[in-house]
Amino acid sequence: MSGRRILLINPNSLEATTAMMVAIARSEVPDGFDIVGATATRAPPMIVSADALDAAAPEVEEIAGAHRNLYDGMIVAAFGDPGLTGIRSALKLPAVGIGEASMRAAAEGGRRFGVATTTPLLEARIDALPEALGLRSSYTGTRFADGDPHDLMRDPERLRAALAGAVEACIVQDGAEAVIIGGGPLGEAARKLQPMFTVPIIAPIPSAVARIIGLITARAAG
């Protein structure tokens, strides 16, 4: 498995977010794998609406297509998985999205799971993911951090506190047995929140890394 390369595509246009997500992903990969980042240029710095999510999909597919011969697998690193369906249709490569991967991880063992995130305008899209994955009966719903998403991202301490409140609501009010921190740009916050709770706090980037490595390994084994 020496020299396997994974492309992490950031559908948001902020290079600093890409660097953060790549650093998290690299900390999760075993020897013989590497993660490289690619950043969208036509999207906003942070996708917070359904329209922006839809608009991001074509560029994500373009990035994937331009790198199709250079990588062994791809990760779409925005929680709505924009462009993932198109990548799978067009390319003969393993590809995963952080939304899909984290929901599959959260639901392992029949756990009931919720999502804590910052983007209320994406609620309908988040709700659609477990339906598409056949996990609707395990999904307890999404809770949103108090505050404007952009303001929260500028203040890591406030972001963590607001997300902690949303996680608590998922557990106490909704009965979630695992909670996903819903968003690639929330990767660092997810790590800080994990030791604060007794239920599993699912970080999407490590979930996607584990899933893509499994797919690449299975494909190589034939």
Per-residue pLDDT of the chain (222 residues; tens, 9 = 90+): 458 999 999 999 999 999 999 999 999 999 999 999 999 999 999 999 999 999 999 999 999 999 999 999 999 999 999 999 999 999 989 999 999 999 999 999 999 999 999 999 999 999 999 999 999 999 999 999 999 999 999 999 999 999 999 999 999 999 999 999 999 999 999 999 999 999 999 999 999 999 999 999 999 887
Domain boundaries, the chain: 4-97+205-221, 100-204
Residue ranges in the chain assigned as alpha helix (H) = 15-28, 50-66, 84-90, 98-106, 123-133, 149-153, 156-172, 187-193, 204-221
Domain at 4-97+205-221, CATH class: alpha beta
Domain 100-204 fold: Rossmann fold (3.40.50)
The sign of the dihedral angle between the CA atoms of 173, 177, 183, 186 is: positive
pTM of the full structure: 0.96
CA–CA separation, 81 and 78 (whole Å): 5
Cβ 12 vs Cβ 44: under 8 Å:
yes
Q: For residue range 3-44, list pLDDT tens digits in order.
A: 899 999 999 999 999 999 999 999 999 999 999 999 999 999
